[in-house]
Each structure stands twice: as C-alpha cells, then as structure tokens.
Amino acid sequence: MQTTSPLPHRADAAGIAKAARLLAQGRLVAFPTETVYGLGADATNGEAVAAIFAAKGRPHFNPLIVHVADAAAAARQAVFNPLAQKLAAKFWPGALTLVLPRRADATVSLLVSAGLDSVALRVPSHPVATALLAAAGHPIAAPSANASGRITATSAAHVAAELGDKVDMILDGGATPLGLESTVIGFDGGAFDGTWEAVLLRPGAIARQDIEAVTGPLAAAGAAIQSPGQLESHYAPQARLRLNATRAEPGEALLGFGAVGDAWLNLSLTGDLKEAAANLFSMLRDMDDQVGAIAVSPIPESGLGEAINDRLRRAAAPKQTTSRAPAPR
Ligand code: TXA
Ligand code: MG
C-alpha cells in the first residue's frame, strides 16, 4: 500500500482497467455506487479482504457486503429462497442487500462473512460499479469507504480525506446519487413449513414500504444483532448531535429540514426526504468540520425518513457503547 494519498482518478475506460488490475493484485480500490462510495477488494482473496479491515480499522466481527455483477453471480455464492428471488428480481440492480446462507462451494473468502454462515450480496446499478465488476470478473467486497465509526463518504474527495493513504486508487464518479447505504434484508423461517419471513437488518436507500410491497410486513432484527452494523454509534461525527431540535441553542448550529429559520445548512428546504438522504452525510461532514455541536430539525419517520433517523440516532449515540454488542468493540 502506498504512503501518499492517491488523487481521485477519472472513471474512464483506462481508469476502470487500471482499477481491475489493482484488484487482481489484491490491492484496494474505492469506487462509487448509487448509494455511497465503497472500499473494494477482490472478495475471493482473503488477504485483500483483510486489508479492508485494516484500512477501515473495522472490528473483525463486522461482515462485509459482496458486490456482484448480476443475480446469477449472486446465486453462485449463496442459497436463495423464493422470497429472496422475488426481491432480487424487483430491486436488482439497486440499493438492496440480501443476507443469505453461504453455499458450501462459495468462492468468496470466509472473512467477508466474519465468522457467520451467511453472506451479504448486492448488485449495484451505478455505471462505474457495473463497469468495474465486468472488468474485474470477480465479486468485490466493499464496505462504505469511511474509517470505522466515521461518517459515510458520498464523494471521491470524502474518500480521499477519510482513507487517502490507505487505498491504492480512488475512482471518481462524482457525488453518489442516493447518498444513503443500501437497505439490508435477511430471512427467517423456511425450515419447517417452507414459508419465509423477511427481516429488516438495516434501513437504507430503499424505503420499508417499497420492500413490504413485495414481502408483506418486515420483521424487526432480533436482539441478538443479526447484523453487526446495527450497533449503536456506528456513524459518528466528532461534534455533539442533538435530534428533534426546533431551534439551535447557544453554541449549536442547526441542520434544518423543511422551512425552518436560521439553519446553518438545510437537508431539504422543501421537506423532500430523498433530497435529505442525498445531503445527509455530506452536510453532517461539513458541519462537523466547522462546529462543535449540531442540532437537527425533526425528520418524519415515513419513507426514507426511517433510514435517515436511524443514521442520525447512531450519530447522536454515545461514542463507546456496549449496549447490545455480543463482544467488545
Ligand atoms: O450501500 C451500501 O450498502 C454500501 C455500498 C458500498 O454498497 N456498503 C455498505 O457496507 O454500507 P458496510 O460494510 O458499511 O455495511 C454492511 C452492512 C452492515 O450493517 C453489516 O453488519 C451488514 O451489512 N452485513 C454484512 N454481511 C452480513 C451478514 N453476513 N449478516 C448480517 N449482516 C451483514
Ligand atoms: Mg458502513
């Protein structure tokens, strides 16, 4: 790994080819997806996957999402149930991650599963991600391209600021369109009567009601933390964060939503949740650089508001929590 920060590289044909060569050598490449930037490595190369954990400073029990070119490539790694097939048909390529049992002959490293017998799979839709998967010819493991516990990166400049000296190349695809990570779905049941239930492991860029239109009511993730990303204080700015604030108190700056007065920045003046999702991490980051305490306007729980509030609550949680963790972080 190099010692100087790589400048973001244009994601043209030469850039994609270079990125694919680096991945084949076991090196790390950050790339844009439609949700957020990913810190990618060849998912079939255990040492390359280990380098992701090292670069992120991520606890080893936190498993990674494996990006694949299409549903057929996903089916080579995991066992699909009928409900998972329906979801994949409806939302792939796109911002949906499915957690499924690993196949015995899966080629992705055991390290991506971090000791679980499942693997998280996603077919991204961003043209740069699609081109990179095609050029690489193998699945790409990629967590969000931020240091562990820090704000998710939604531009190549954010990645450079977060991980610059720890990544071998950054493919610049501009700002990510959705700005919020994928929705992560797991499954319960099936064993006895063949009926499956979908479980919401992480709210994300596809809203609950869009998933539920396919699956029926989603079950909540169990207390045993089926998804370690559910740990509190996962998205942590340095600034203190106060939620559901109607105004900034002295010493605070307001991150507004809707037509509020005196906002330092506003997630969406018109109260558009999609716009707010796309702005969330970059505005948190901007304010974190400049102010010590952030007050955030109330955001409705409907639609994408569920995922936005989930990220905000984590960002506001005390930094070192042991709350529901199965092991020390
Ligand atoms: O939009 C996204 O999902 C981005 C882009 C780059 O694809 N990736 C991302 O990855 O957010 P990461 O590693 O930051 O988050 C992965 C989430 C975590 O909540 C993790 O716990 C969960 O997926 N996860 C991964 N594998 C799992 C597994 N086998 N079982 C349960 N949860 C899993
Ligand atoms: Mg992440």
CA–CA gap between residue 108 and residue 77 (Å, rounded):
7
Q: Convert the pLDDT of each residue in 90-130 to its tens digit.
A: 999 999 999 999 999 999 998 888 778 899 999 999 999 99
Ligand 1 site, residue 36, Cβ cutoff 6 A: yes
Q: Of 196, 233, 240, which Cα lies nearest the Cα of 218? A: 196
Tokens representing 258? 């809707």
Q: Convert the pLDDT of each residue in 134-173 to its tens digit.
A: 999 999 999 999 887 788 899 999 999 988 889 999 999 9
What is the best residue among 31, 34, 65 to mutate for testing ligand 1's pocket, by most ligand atoms within 8 Å of CB? 65
Ligand 1 site, residue 146, Cβ cutoff 6 A: no
CA–CA gap between residue 10 and residue 5 (Å, rounded):
15
Q: Are 170 and 156 in contact (CB under 8 A)?
A: yes
Q: Give the predicted TM-score (pTM) of the model.
A: 0.84
Q: Convert the pLDDT of each residue in 38-91 to its tens digit.
A: 999 999 998 898 888 888 876 556 789 999 999 999 999 999 999 999 999 999
Q: Are 72 and 43 in contact (CB under 8 A)?
A: no
CA–CA gap between residue 259 and residue 109 (Å, rounded):
49
- Give SS3 for 202: strand
Q: Are 156 and 37 in contact (CB under 8 A)?
A: yes
| The pLDDT of residue 322 | 38
Position 249 pLDDT exceeds 80: yes
Measured from the Cα of 202, ligand 1's closest atom is: 19
CB burial string 225-234: b at 16+ within 10 A, e below: bbbbbbbbbb
Q: Residue with the nearest Cα to atom 10 of ligand 1?
A: 143
Q: Residue with the nearest Cα to atom 32 of ligand 1?
A: 227
Ligand 1 site, residue 35, Cβ cutoff 6 A: yes
Position 180 pLDDT exceeds 60: yes
Measured from the Cα of 146, ligand 1's closest atom is: 14
